[in-house]
Amino acid sequence: MSATVNIASSESAISISGLEFAYGNRPVLKGIDLEIPRGVSFGVLGANGAGKTTLVRLLIGRLKATAGTALIFGQEPGPELADSVGYMPQLNALYEALSVRENLDFFARMLGLSNKEQRVAAVARAMELVGLTDRADSVMSELSGGMRQRVSLGAALVHEPDILLLDEPTVGLDPELRATFWQHFKEMTDSGTTIVISSHTMDDAAHCDTLGFMRDGKFIATGTPDELRQSTGKPNSTLEDAFLFLSRASDDVI
Amino acid sequence: MMSFDRKLAIAARITREIRRDRRSLALIIGAPVIVMSLIGFSFQDQKPVLNQAAPALIATMAMFFVFVLTGISFLRERSQGTLERLLSTAVSRSDLLVGYLAGFLLFALIQSIIILLYTLFVVDVEYSGKLWDIVFILLMVTITSVSMGIFVSTFAKNEFQVVQFIPLLLAPQIFLSGVILPTSQLPGYFQVISGVLPLTYANRALRDIMLRGASLSDVSTEIGVLALFAIAMLAAAAATVRKT
């Protein structure tokens, strides 16, 4: 593998400062500052159109910032980091005519696992992790929506990346499957992986180690779920309450 | 970053996807045969006319089917999001382009050769020249057409739009490259346009080979121009391949 990134030398997994992005004249990200330490799960929470996907696409290097910087392990996002970063796009983004195993094998090869033995082991491990070993030879079109989501997650982590960027990974999952996903994520952060998850459901938010509430291209608040709940000043507030409270507060500032 | 393994994997994946899709596979083979039968047998009583038209017909059909095949397949890669996922890996432009070219070239060549052999031996068009020389010219047409398909898919947001590009790109070639009227009989300004269409040169080369028994060295100018088109189209495809 061609990773030349010295991952050990960087304190934060992700550090973003003054990040701005615009599609033409339409600003989407309006100044984001963020430090995400290693080995935590960070939730980017916000409504549709808040800029979550744009932020994730900047982090995988598919978009270039209009101003400011976004660094992963102290490096600009790009192909050099591909070995350390796993990306799960919003769409399932898998090949319909291929089986679970073939899809994972293909993306593993694209991620630089050219050694066949290593790759077979990595694919088997990924299928085990997302619980699809018994469906290894089913083609995508035979799988349910939830299963496809799991294959998509498997394709993002088949190369055991240090950072996982997951764009709305739990959309359309039933509660049971959602719980399973979160169990995986917890295991991964425990073993040192950093996970960034975008979501618009507060159910996901409660599982994250830290959270950022995103609104209209900016973070209006960041903190642990407990800290954010307490920000309302009322007892027994939910994250939903906190989000609405902080949204109103940010409107008042404007 | 150059990676032979990635190119090979992309080509193998495309081959596997097309092989799995039985109906498409049947159409890839069946559609050109049906079209060539229709054209061929409707001219059965006017064999000399058919013999004259055959070289241009073969080249046009090859370009048409290959363009549709590649354009739609690459668009699907963009619209289903797999290209976005691919581009988050260390995959390079050359990996994508060479992988795609190799994957489609296989089917495109099979298709071109079916068109050719069917026209020559079933529709029974008379020809002179070497069969391999004809195949070589068709290979050049195929490379140009695969690259054109990738390039054009950048400008289409869905299958419907790709289909709209077919008449836009192919009709001028059919009318102006000498398939229907010899280019010398076209109005002056159309002759200029005709001069920048790849099919014009493919037709000219195939006519010289098939009707006059020319060798590849006799048509080296046409081959040179076709190579330039192929390179230009590949460059255009390379410039846009990373857009999603």
Residue A34, H or E segment: strand A26-37
A169/chain B closest Cα distance in angstroms: 14
Is A110 close to B89, i.e. CB distance below 8 A? yes
Q: What's the burial of B135, exposed, middle or buried (CB within 10 Å: 0-12/13-18/19+)? A: middle
pLDDT of residue A253: 63
Mutate to test the interface with A, among B88, B95, B241 (most CBs of A within 10 A): B88
Sorted by sequence, the CB contacts under 8 Å of residue A119 that are 6+ apart come out as: A105, A108, A109, A113
pLDDT digits (tens, 9 = 90+) for B199-221: 999 999 999 999 999 999 999 99
Look at residue A96 and give its three-state secondary structure: coil
Geometric angle at alpha carbon B115, from B110 and B118, rounded to 5°? 115
- The residue-averaged pLDDT of B173-180 equals 80
Quote the crossing angle between the two packed helices A100-110 and A116-129, to the nearest 10°.
Answer: 130
Alpha-carbon distance B59 to B140, whole Å?
A: 10
pLDDT digits (tens, 9 = 90+) for A209-231: 999 999 999 999 999 999 999 98
> What are A164's two structure tokens?
């996982």
pLDDT of residue B1: 46
Alpha-carbon distance A109 to A129, whole Å?
A: 19
Q: Does residue A121 belong to any structural domain of this protein?
A: yes
Q: Which residue in chain B is spatially nearest to A79 when comparing CA positions?
A: B90
Tell me the average pLDDT of chain B: 86
Q: Which residues of B touch A123 (CB under 8 A)?
A: none
Alpha-carbon distance A133 to A130, whole Å?
A: 8
Backbone phi and psi for residue A20, each to the nearest 5 degrees, phi listed first? -130, 150
Residue for token digits 């399973």? A180
Round the CA-based radius of gyration of chain B to a whole number and report it: 18
CB–CB of A212/A34 below 8 Å?
A: yes
pLDDT of residue A144: 92
Range of the domain at A152: 90-160
Q: Does residue A119 belong to any structural domain of this protein?
A: yes
- The complex's ipTM works out to 0.85
- The residue-averaged pLDDT of B212-238 equals 91
Please check the confidence at residue B25 and state whether its pLDDT lies above 50.
yes
Q: Does residue A99 belong to any structural domain of this protein?
A: yes
Q: Which residues of B touch A161 (CB under 8 A)?
A: none
Which string of DSSP letters, residue by residue, matches A110-144?
HTT---HHHHHHHHHHHHHHTT-GGGTT-BGGGS-
* Number of domains chain A is built from: 1
- The residue-averaged pLDDT of B145-164 equals 83
pLDDT digits (tens, 9 = 90+) for B58-99: 888 888 888 888 888 888 888 888 998 999 898 988 898 889
> What are B187's two structure tokens?
């109005």
> What are B113's two structure tokens?
């050769």
pLDDT of residue A1: 40
- The residue-averaged pLDDT of B166-194 equals 82
Please check the confidence at residue A10 and state whether its pLDDT lies above 70.
no
Is B80 close to A60, i.e. CB distance below 8 A? no
b or e along A117-129 (b: 16 or more beta carbons within 10 Å of the residue's beta carbon)? eebeebbeebbeb
Whole-model pTM: value is 0.86
CB–CB of B36/B118 below 8 Å?
A: yes
Using CB atoms, pick whichever of B17, B80, B86 lies closest to residue A110.
B86
Alpha-carbon distance A19 to A29, whole Å?
A: 7
Write the DSSP symbol of residue B119. I
